[in-house]
Each structure stands twice: as C-alpha cells, then as structure tokens.
Amino acid sequence: MFQTDKIKMRRKNIARNPGGGNTRLLLVMLGYLCLIKGAVAAPQIPAMFAFGDSLIDDGNNNGLNSLAKSNYYPYGIDFYQGSTGRFCNGKTVVDALCDLLELPYIPAYTTAGPNGTSRLGGVNYASAGGGILDETGQHLGERYSLNQQVLNFESDLNSIRTILGTERSYNQFLARSIAVMLFGSNDYINNYLLPSLYNSGYDYTPEQFANLLLNHYTRQILALNSVGLRKFLLAGVGPLGCIPSQRASGAARPDRCVDQVNEMVGFFNQGLRSLVEQLNSNHPGSIFIYGNTYAAVGDMLNNPANYGFSVLDHGCCGIEQNNEWQFTCLPLSTPCSNRNQYVFWDAFHPTESVNLILAQKAYTGNQTDVYPINVQQLAQL
C-alpha cells in the first residue's frame, strides 16, 4: 500500500515514467518587459505559452462564473502581487520556470488585453477545473477546457503576427518559444473519480480512460504544432492518490495514499511518455519532452527531509472535517505559518516550495526527471 511516509512507487507501471527592423522591435519589447520584472539577463526564449488547469492557472477563472476561484486571501500570501487567482501560497511551477528562463511572468489570457504587444512574452491559457475532455469539471461552472484553450491561443495569433510584421519573424518567434502543457489531473479528480456526476467511471476501465484522454490530448498537441509551435514540455500527472482530498475520500486509511488512484494515473503517465517518443519520431524539426511529475513529487513524499518537508498528509489551509483536510482555503482564513515545511497548500494543490523544486527538476534535471532532454537544453535548441 502507499503509506504516508513511504509512497510505494510501482516500478513497473509508474515509477519509471520519466515519462531586420521587426526583429529589433521584438528584442526591444522583450527587453522592456524584462525591465518591468526587474530581470537583468535577456530571456532565453522569446515566449512561453502555458496550457493547463488550476495547478498553473494565474487568473483566467477570476472573471468566469465558476466555483473554482482563488482570487482571495490567503491565496497568494507569499506572492508579490498578492491574490491574483493562483491556487497557491506563492509561485506556480510556470512562474518558477519563467524565473529560470529569465522571462517576465506571463499574463493570464483574460487579462492580457487586446494589444498583441502584451502577448509577446507569452500567455497563460490555463483554467481551474478545465481538463482534456470538454465535460470535465462542468459541475464547477465555467472553465476553459483544453480544446477551448487551444482556440484561445489561435485567436491571439493574428495580433502577434501583426506586431512582428514579417512571416519569417512570426515563424521564428513561435518556433523558438516553449509550450508548457499540464493536463490530466482534473480528468480524474473532477470526472472519472466522481461516479455520481459523470459516467466515465462506469463506461471505461482505467486503462481505457487513459487511452481516451491521450487520444484527445494528441489531437490538440498536434493542432498547436500545426500553427507553428515546435518546443513542448508535456508534464505528467502527479500521485493524485496522495493529495489530501483523496486521502480524505475514505478509499484508504488517513495515513495512506490511495493506491488505486495512483495506479490509474500510472496508465496515463506511461502513455504520455510513449506519446513523447512517438511525436519526436514522427515530427522532425519539433521537440517534445516529458516531465515526470509523479516521480518528482513521489521523491518528496518518500524522502521529505531531503527537501525540508515535515507535513505530507494535509494542506496548509483548507476546511478540516473529522481531522481530514478536504477542500480549498476559506476566504480570509489563517494558513499555517511554516509553509515551507508543507507539501500541500490546500487539499488539491502543492505549495510554492514544491513548485520551485518541480521547476528546477524540469529545467536542469536528468532523464528520470525530464525526458529526453531538460528545459534548459530545450531552450538552447
């Protein structure tokens, strides 16, 4: 079983998922954005475009009619802008990657404004509650699914093309930028694992459901590739059976992770790593890398002292019922003071400390962390 202090990484199924003028204008604009952020070095890539769910949403849900919102205290308690809509006490993993790549923090799609210039450093299209499947998270209200996020990105391309001026500058801009994609968690938490609301748990075995997700995912990845993006970081799903909400589900003892849920995630992660190999083989000129989130978070849970963590089984804030932490943070609630010692911020999301570690592993990690190359190497191509 997956115990609190020793998450058993299934080596067969899961643990080995390592899974001219216009140009000058662009450089000036990017340099200006760096000055706004206070960066000294030039960005390593022109832009980052992020697609995903609440793990990296930085405010897209703020204006939506949705239950999945975090634009209130104590969310953002450790972020310099405060409560922006990030589901964390501080930086998301995308923010941390921006730091490492010396990019300005990329704006949310809904706040970037109509001016294409504001999109030249990248845009975050992620939406809390959104999933690979359109129906995922529908009980939470409005959200941008993967399909809609891709459409939102495509709607921005004309303004970016207009600003860059020439087709060559535009093509080079997209080809050198990095797309970060982080999907799958919601398709389990807010779909497959809610049989009272969704039929997927009855209609598909875990392996069939993973294949369904990967088929949908592949189509949208290729859609982004077809319009010019050439560098992709595809992040795997972490050990969902170990998040506080799943521990509190009753499917396992409170001091254990839910083994069955982690096995489900294993099918998806295995398939995603295989998909990366297939995409790299079939699309020369593009490069796809797999971020092994499961192994990275698993190591933090297996060896917490190595990372400075001491609290692994519940969030720093949330609603406690029967000594179990099940939900997100209540507005104006008081979170824990020793946040750097917690793996989880609330019942679903990691702390900034975890996000910083995940970003560093993706940026400089070996092939166990990120495969076949890391983000630093990807940026240099």
Q: Give yes or no for residue 26 having a pLDDT over 80.
A: no
- The region of weakest confidence among 133-147, 253-267, 314-328 is 314-328
Instruction: Provide the pLDDT for residue 201.
Output: 94
DSSP at 219: H
In a domain, residue 341? The reply is: yes
User: Per the domain annotation, does 39 fall within a domain?
Assistant: yes
pLDDT at 279: 98
Residue 70 belongs to a domain: yes
Assess whether pLDDT exceeds 70 at residue 197: yes
Q: How confident is the model at residue 247 (pLDDT cuts 50, 70, 90)?
A: confident
Pure H helices in the chain: 21-37, 93-101, 146-164, 167-176, 185-187, 200-203, 206-226, 244-247, 259-282, 293-302, 352-364, 375-380
DSSP secondary-structure letter at 114?
Answer: S
Contact between 109 and 152 under an 8 Å Cβ cutoff? The reply is yes
**Cβ atoms of 231 and 381 closer than 8 Å:** yes
Give the lowest-confidence range in 195-199, 294-298, 322-326.
322-326
Residue 251 included in any domain: yes
Give the integer Cα–Cα distance in Å for 286 and 47: 16
CA distance 296 to 292: 6
Could you list the active site residues?
54, 346, 349
Write down the residue that tokens 């409560």 correspond to: 83
Distance CA 285, CA 7 (A): 39
Q: Specify the DSSP element, H or E, that contains 232.
A: strand 231-235
pLDDT at 328: 82
Report the range out of 8-12, 91-95, 252-256 with the highest average pLDDT: 91-95
pLDDT digits (tens, 9 = 90+) for 96-125: 999 999 999 999 999 876 666 778 899 999
The answer to whether residue 85 is domain-embedded is: yes
Candidate from 30-34, 141-145, 267-271, 282-286 with smallest mean pLDDT: 30-34
Pair 350, 297: CB distance under 8 Å = yes
* Confidence tier at 28 by pLDDT (50, 70, 90): very low
* Residue 10 maps to a domain: no
pLDDT band with cut points at 50, 70 and 90 for residue 278: very high
**pLDDT for the residue numbered 15:** 38
Rounded to whole angstroms, the Cα distance separating 108 from 249 reads 32
Taking 90 as the threshold, does the pLDDT of residue 4 lie above it?
no
CA dihedral 271, 277, 279, 282 (to 10 degrees): -130
Q: What is the pLDDT of residue 25?
A: 42
Higher pLDDT, 305 or 13: 305
pLDDT over threshold 90, residue 204: yes
190 domain-assigned: yes
- CA-to-CA dists, residue 270 to 17, 67, 288, 372, angstroms: 6, 32, 15, 14
- Report helix, strand or coil for 140: helix
The predicted-structure confidence for 81-92, as pLDDT tens digits, reads as follows: 999 999 999 999
Can you tell me the distance from the alpha carbon of 334 to that of 321, in angstroms, rounded to the nearest whole number? 16
In a domain, 286, yes or no: yes
Instruction: Indicate the helix (H) or strand (E) that contains 320.
Output: strand 320-321
CATH number of the domain to which 338 belongs: 3.40.50.1110
Phi, psi of 288 (to 5 degrees): -120, 135
Domain span at residue 313 reads 21-380
Query: Structurally, how many domains does the chain consist of?
Result: 1
Q: Look up residue 77 and give its two tokens.
A: 């308690």
Q: What is the mean pLDDT of residues 186-202?
A: 96
Is-contact 45 101, C-beta < 8 A? yes
Average pLDDT, the chain: 88
